[in-house]
Structure 1
Amino acid sequence: MVLISRGWPDVTAALANMEPEYSQRITDLTASLDFNRLTVHINTLHDWSPCRIIEDRYTWGQSFVVFEAVFPDMSSWVIRVGMSSLLSDPESRSAHEVLLRKKMLNEAAALEIVRERTAIPVPHIIAIHTTSSINPLGPEAPAFMVLTSIEGTHMTTLGIDMSNPDPTCGDETKLPILTKYFYDLADVHVQLSGITYPLIGSFTIDAFRENIIGPSIEHAMGPFSSSTAYFHVLADHFDHIASADSSHSEVNRLKKQFVAFMWRSAILPLVDTCDNHGPFPLRHGDFHVDNILVDSTGHIVGLLDWDCAATVPWEVFAVPGVDTSAFFVDVFETGKAKTDIFPPRHAIFNRALKARQTSSPLPSGKSLAELHDSTAAHIGAYLALFMTSMECDYRFVGRSLYNLLGWGGNIDEGFTKFLTTRVSSLLPGL
């Protein structure tokens, strides 16, 4: 077996490209981690077969630093160690530890359920330890989890660039790889659509140590019994993002509030009443190429990092991630029609969904391909991702929403009307 860490980015170069406050979280953790004690603990989990933790070749995500532990037979496990909070005050550190614990328990439950109910290739969790008095590395040691490893590579190493509108970059010989990848991704999507629950939220553990649906880790919302309740609270979250704009520009803040207002106005009327009360499907929550392992043909051999998994409205489930869709309107003002704007990946994924799905899991009877191609899913899933990551962006997300709403004129005219209406409501006597 080839060591999976050989395919990870060069540590020194990757750290050099990061902001110091983020890179320091990683270097502080690696410097403080007791590798000898961790090695001893890993050995106890593997019938005392001696392992070697590769300390100088590691990778990381938003919450964890990842190491590989190698055994004499060249098999290996993965160790994900929780990073500390960016903020040093006790309240922030405590909240961060709680969030890490929730993420780890959520991932453990999601992986167990996916392994039991699907053929999706996922790791097996060997052990989980949160920061506590019984942590084998010590009471103040970081939380960590141990998982089986999966050998594979990423699409980027096969010459596929998902950040490009044409991931093949014009190389037609790469099209079979891209097609295989999206057909496998569609198969995963169809399988996940068969895992449904009566509530919207993330996994937690009840008093009987059973997995149940509790509040979503994302934004700490819910649980919800309807899609409309979920979207109302998510819209409130976007309102908060807009109002908390830190650009020190009142115009920018008002524009973001207008975008949040448009998102709320756009999504709520589009929720299908037949699907509104579930049951609701399980979504990975962080579906992008870095979390998907493939072989040399584009065949998916592993799906990683399920800590953001949650049951969601069907409109949110419909778009697994940004790699399978695109903006529905000409936000870049190219003058092209919708069919010309869409990159090949959107059409390929839709064809794959039609080929893979034999019956509809939705109460409304809609197909997954139909839902993926719908305005409701585009707003509820695709644009919602950018509402968070781009903080209610006016130029692209706002323009997209405005065009989809069909309010006439251009977005600047709509913004002016929005301000006029707001002033009138605040000063009704004028």
Structure 2
Amino acid sequence: MKPRLSYDDQAWERGTIIYQHWYKYLEEDADPFNAVGRFLATQFYPREWCDFDIFALGGFKVCFRIVFTDTTTALIRFPLPGIIMLPEEKVRNEVRAMRFILEQTQKPHTIPIRVPSVLLSGKKDSPGKLGPFIVMEYIEHEQSICRLLERLESDPIAVPYWILLSTRIVLSLPTITLSKIGSVGLEEDNSTWRVFDRPLSYSMNEIVQLGTLPRIVLLEALATLHISHLISPRNDSIDSEDDCRRKFVARILFQRIVQDEKLRKNWLYYETGPFPIWCDDFRPENVLVDKDENIAGVVEWWSGGVVDWEFTYAAPVEFSYSPPWWLLLEKPEYWTKGLDDWCIQYEHRLPRFLKALADCEDEAIHNGQLLDTQGISGAMRDIYWQKIDQRFFGPNQRADPEDAWKERLSLLTPEETEYINECVRVKSEEMETRALA
């Protein structure tokens, strides 16, 4: 497991205040609200609109929905300031990813995914000067798959219906590949897709938003970013000197895995590609279902589909081989009963998910939608049981997982140990004193 990110609470609070004030402005000020309405009505003229309102506030965006008298319905989405740190890049990448996935999964012998059509996007003509936007098809739905969990809370081991449905999407995305890692785009002739830009990941956005790391540092390697991120937060990123040392040890060893060619061979099985499409933000909350609890792409085109393709890019194949965190719908750092209980519950549910995934693979192969070589359930099972730390640095004899890092101190060079000691000293002195940038 890669080092867990540490957040600066004041940065979190400031970002929250920014987007809450912005959202209140949209709700209470008639000028931007009406500007968005006029913009959409103009784009769909000569249709006549009959309903227009703010539709939803998500984790990364706010949506307006407009309904026309002929039942045509569309959404316009804006990234939330204070939450999204690179809004233009995020919107551009998401639009390209949606169009790419929609096109690729409609080809013969593929597992289809229902993706909303993008009708318009940009920044130059943004209504109300609200920033980059996407105008897209509205998919009629009853709820998200996440809402179906309520009936299953009493049995944490059972395989929920939404997991069985989600396996088809998990299986479909890795079949879409590119020759490089990064964000997809179209050539000038609009006929060839290729990687155009760097990948913009969820972690990169968080490191800038909550780690207060300068945007320019994103040009450096991700492994180095984890160390820079730990240094950058002003306060609340460490609990004690031991906690600080533990986090630095994890980051330095993670960086060593990336930089050491011999260690990297045990990790990067497919270093030269092809590289499958990966969505950092994919989770059951983004899978929409109709009143019969069907989603698009399972057998036929039902109403429903997959929305929110933020942070989607061609990624190392190992991303697709990693078991999804959302099997319990909650990340381990937010699990109220602690990490140990999360792991216990997860390890109960994972085998059943893998069985559902394997059954889905067999069905897709039988239907000609998947090649025998495109299955991922076997690799996913292998990767989970080879935890990163012990896989590269051997067994750990510490009984308490919180103390496991102490056994790794002997792996550090004298220079690395001196570096950690100096960083711990600085972090301890500046806690609660350095101003938030």
TM bucket (normalised to shorter chain) is 0.5 to 0.7
Q: Is it true that 1:280 corresponds to 2:275 in the alignment? A: yes
- Distance apart, 1:205 and its partner CA: 5.8
Residue 212 of structure 1: aligned partner: 194
Give the CA RMSD over aligned residues.
4.2
Q: What do the CA deviations read for 1:263-316 (whole angstroms, capped 9, x no partner)?
A: 446785575554221101001221122211123454322101112111111111
Residue 132 of structure 2: aligned partner: 143
Residue 169 of structure 1: aligned partner: 153
SS state of the match for residue 127, structure 2?
coil
Contact 1:276 / 1:313 at 8 angstroms: preserved in 2? Answer: yes
Q: Aligned partner of 2:96: which letter? A: A
Contact 1:407 / 1:414 at 8 angstroms: preserved in 2? Answer: yes
Q: Is it true that 1:357 corresponds to 2:357 in the alignment? A: no
Out of 14, 17, 21, which is 1:24 matched to? 21
Q: Whole-Å Cα distance in 2 between the matches of residues 201 and 379 of structure 1? A: 26
Residue 368 of structure 1: aligned partner: 376
Residue 203 of structure 1: aligned partner: 184
Unaligned runs of 5+ in 2: 1-14, 106-111, 206-219, 296-303, 419-437
Residue 73 of structure 1: aligned partner: 70
- Distance apart, 1:318 and its partner CA: 2.3
Q: Is it true that 1:37 corresponds to 2:26 in the alignment? A: no
User: Aligned pair count?
Assistant: 353
Out of 212, 218, 222, which is 1:234 matched to? 222
Residue 295 of structure 1: aligned partner: 290
- Distance apart, 1:375 and its partner CA: 2.9
Contact 2:79 / 2:132 at 8 angstroms: preserved in 1? Answer: yes
Contact 1:278 / 1:363 at 8 angstroms: preserved in 2? Answer: no
Q: Whole-Å Cα distance in 2 between the matches of residues 424 and 279 of structure 1? A: 39
- Higher relative contact order by CA 8 Å / sep ≥ 6: 1 or 2? 2
Unaligned runs of 5+ in 1: 1-17, 87-94, 162-166, 222-231, 381-399
Q: Whole-Å Cα distance in 1 between the matches of residues 266 and 410 of structure 2? A: 29
Superposed, 1:324-403 pairs within 5 Å as 324=327, 332-333=339-340, 341-342=345-346, 345-358=349-362, 367-375=375-383
Contact 2:74 / 2:137 at 8 angstroms: preserved in 1? Answer: yes
Q: Whole-Å Cα distance in 2 between the matches of residues 341 and 422 of structure 1? A: 34
SS state of the match for residue 40, structure 2?
helix
SS state of the match for residue 408, structure 1?
coil
Out of 147, 153, 163, which is 1:182 matched to? 163
Q: Whole-Å Cα distance in 2 between the matches of residues 79 and 234 of structure 1? A: 32
Q: Aligned partner of 2:376: which letter? A: L
Residue 259 of structure 1: aligned partner: 250
User: Which 10-residue stretch deviates more, 140-149 or 363-372?
Assistant: 363-372
Residue 322 of structure 1: aligned partner: 325
Note closer, same or farther for the CA distance 1:362–1:188 as it changes in structure 2 (3 Å cut).
Answer: closer
- Distance apart, 1:215 and its partner CA: 0.2
Residue 64 of structure 1: aligned partner: 61
Contact 2:47 / 2:70 at 8 angstroms: preserved in 1? Answer: no
- Distance apart, 1:401 and its partner CA: 6.8
Residue 129 of structure 1: aligned partner: 122
Q: What do the CA deviations read for 1:221-253 (whole angstroms, capped 9, x no partner)?
A: 9xxxxxxxxxx9332222222333533644332
